[in-house]
Every structure is written in C-alpha cells, then in structure tokens.
Amino acid sequence: MRWIDLLFLAIIITAVILYQMLKQGVEKPKPLRRKDVSALRYLEEKGYARCSGPYSSTVHMRTNDKGHSFRVGADFAVKKDGRRYLVFLRSSEDSERLNSPVLRNRLLLLHSMYNPSGILFVNPDADKIQKVSFNFRPRNPLYGGVVFSLIMIILILLFLLLTVGGFL
C-alpha cells in the first residue's frame, strides 16, 4: 500500500465522519398550529422564510434518582439573509418584559443549545417584531473534536510513512 492510498483513505474516513456529525441536526419542519400560520405569513411579508432544523428538544433531568422530562424550544425557526432565528409568538396580553431575569436565563439556554443568530418575539396583531441577540459565541465542540482528530490522523500517517514506508 502506497502512502497516497493511506492519504485518500484518511480523507474518505474524515469526510464520512463529518457527514454523519452534520447530518444529525437536520430534521423536517413540524406542522404549524393555526396561530403560528398567521405569524409565519406576517414574517414572510417582512422577508423571513421558515427553515427546518431543530428548534425544540426534550430535556431529561434527574433529581434524587427521580426522572423528569420537559421541552425546551421555540414556536418555530426562520431564516433571513442567511441567518437563523428562533421565533416566539407574543400576544398583546403578554406582560413579561424581555429583560426580566427569568426570561433572560431561558433565552440564554436556548441560545446556547441552538446557537441562532437571534431570537424574535413576534406580535402580528400589533405589527411588532422584537429581536434579541447575544454578543458572545460559545465554543463549538464540533471544531475542537474534528480538528484534533484530523491533526492526530495526519501525525499518525506521517509517523507511519517516515518509519515504515520511508516514502517521504
């Protein structure tokens, strides 16, 4: 086996691993509820388009060896200019302020889970869209693991080529 064969094999294995990792986050959009359809039409008029992908997840929590499950997520997700936003629908009766500590912690959790460009609070009746965004970017674990794996594969291949094959 020549060294170029090992290089091609490493590239193919790395491509398959990357494909499998990136494919996990893709899912079909769920059907919208009736109130969501009118909000989506309102957003489409403003230039947004509904996008697929995860925007709601079930979280399992254990407290004193007792399991609890709850859902965390948004009503749906949209895209505009290549940026993805989570959308929450608000009505005129919603009195919770956007800068309240409870809501801020929930939004921060959603931001760290889904890493959107922003979070939109939409009230189509009042013709109002409020955008919330955070200035920090959490470290993406995909890059660290993939880059480390690629470096290790290259180093192992170089070591094998220099010691066993002597091709370089």
Domains along the chain with CATH numbers: 28-139 (3.40.1350)
Give the Cα separation of 143 and 81 in Å (integer). 24
Within 10 A of 154 (CB to CB), how many other CB atoms are there?
13
Give the Cα separation of 76 and 31 in Å (integer). 10
Per-residue pLDDT, 148: 75
What pLDDT digit, counting tens, does each position of 2-34 carry?
Answer: 777 888 888 888 888 877 776 665 455 566 666
131, 118 contact by CB (below 8 A): yes
Q: SS3 sequence, 3-70?
A: HHHHHHHHHHHHHHHHHHHHHCCCCCCCCCCHHHHHHHHHHHHCCCEECCCCCEEEEEEEECCEEEEE
Give the Cα separation of 23 and 132 in Å (integer). 28
Q: Is the pTM of this model over 0.75?
A: no
Range from 21-35, 41-55, 91-105, 153-167 carrying the lowest mean pLDDT: 21-35
Give the Cα separation of 47 and 78 in Å (integer). 10
What pLDDT digit, counting tens, does each position of 34-59 carry?
Answer: 667 777 788 888 888 887 766 777 77
